[in-house]
Amino acid sequence: MSDITVVTYDWVPLPPRGHVRDVRLCWALEEAGLPYRIETTPFADRGPQHFAHQPFGQVPWLTDGDISVFESGACLLYLGEKSDKLLPTDKRARIETIEWLIAGLNSMEMVSVPWSIHQFSNDKQGAAWERVDGWLTSRLTNLEKVIGRRDWLAGTFSIADILMADLLRLVDRFDGLKNFPATKAYVTRATARPAFIKARDEQIARFKAADAAA
Ligand SMILES: N[C@@H](CCC(=O)N[C@@H](CS)C(=O)NCC(=O)O)C(=O)O
C-alpha cells in the first residue's frame, strides 16, 4: 500500500517555477500511476521540522509511512523500487539505469547548476564563465554521442531519463542545447510525455495559487 507524500516549498519566486525539483518526483509518480499527495513547507522560514527531513533546508523530500527520503536522486531510486516502469528489474538494465541516474547527478548536474547560476545572474563574461561554459560544452559533446544512438538512456524510459531530461531542460531554457540537436530532441521527447506535463503544470499552478492567497 502506497502512502506517498511529496514535500515542496509553499512558494518560490518566479524564475525557478516549473523547475523546482519536486517535479522529478511527481513526474515519476505520474509515470508509475502511483497515488501521492503534495504537502508544502515554508520557503521563507525553514525551521527544525524542515531540517529534520532535509538537512540542507532544501526541497524536495518524500515520506512513505514512517520513511522519509531526501535528495531527488535518492527519491527517484526509492520510487523506482515500486514500479518497473521507473526502474527495470532485469539486472543489466537496472544497473544501466542506476549508472545513468548517477551520471546525471554527478557528471552533468554538477556542471549544469553552476552554468545555470551564471545564466540566472546574467554573468557571462570573464574567466569563471568561460571555464564553466567550456566544461558544460565538453559534457554535452560527449552526451550528444550517446543520446544520438538511443531514445532513452538505459533502453526503455526510466528514472534516469526523468533526472537527465529535467536537468537538461534548464540548460535548454537558456538555449544551451542549440549546438546539440540529438540532446535537444531527447529533451523534447521526454517533456512531451503527459506525466511530465501534468507534474510541471501542477507545480506552476500551485505557486500561482500561493501568490493569489498571499
Ligand atoms: N541535490 C538536491 C538539490 C535540491 C535543491 O537544490 N533544491 C532547491 C529547489 S529545486 C532548493 O531547495 N533551493 C533552495 C536552497 O538551496 O536553499 C536534490 O537533488 O534534491
Cα–Cα dist 207/95, whole Å: 36
Please state the rounded mean pLDDT for residues 144-160: 97
Confidence of residue 214 (pLDDT cuts 50, 70, 90): confident
Out of 59, 62, 105, mutate this one to test ligand 1's pocket (max ligand atoms within 8 Å of CB): namely: 59
Q: What's this model's pTM, rounded to 2 decimal places?
A: 0.97
Using a 6 Å CB cutoff, which residues line ligand 1? 20-21, 57-59, 71-73
User: What are the residue boundaries of the structural domains of the chain, listed by start?
Assistant: 4-85+195-213, 91-192
CA distances from 59 to 42, 55, 70 (A): 10, 10, 8
Atom of ligand 1 nearest to the CA of 71: 20
- The pLDDT tens digits of the residues spanning 202-212 come to 999 999 999 99
Tell which CATH architecture fits domain 91-192. Answer: Up-down Bundle (1.20)
Ligand 1 centroid – CA 60 distance (Å) = 7
User: What CATH number labels 4-85+195-213?
Assistant: 3.40.30.10
- The pLDDT tens digits of the residues spanning 22-64 come to 999 999 999 999 999 999 999 999 999 999 999 999 999 999 9
What pLDDT is stored for residue 1 in this prediction? 54
Where helices occur in 33-180 by DSSP H, the ranges are 48-53, 72-80, 91-103, 109-120, 127-147, 159-173
Residue with the nearest Cα to atom 12 of ligand 1? 58
Atom of ligand 1 nearest to the CA of 113: 6
Residue with the nearest Cα to atom 9 of ligand 1? 20
- The pLDDT tens digits of the residues spanning 120-149 come to 999 999 999 999 999 999 999 999 999 999
- The pLDDT tens digits of the residues spanning 68-99 come to 999 999 999 999 999 999 999 999 999 999 99
Cα–Cα dist 120/204, whole Å: 19
Please state the rounded mean pLDDT for residues 143-162: 97
Residue 5 CB contacts under 8 Å (≥ 6 apart), including other chains: 36, 37, 38, 39, 62, 63, 64
For residues 86 and 152, the answer to whether their CB atoms sit within 8 Å is: no
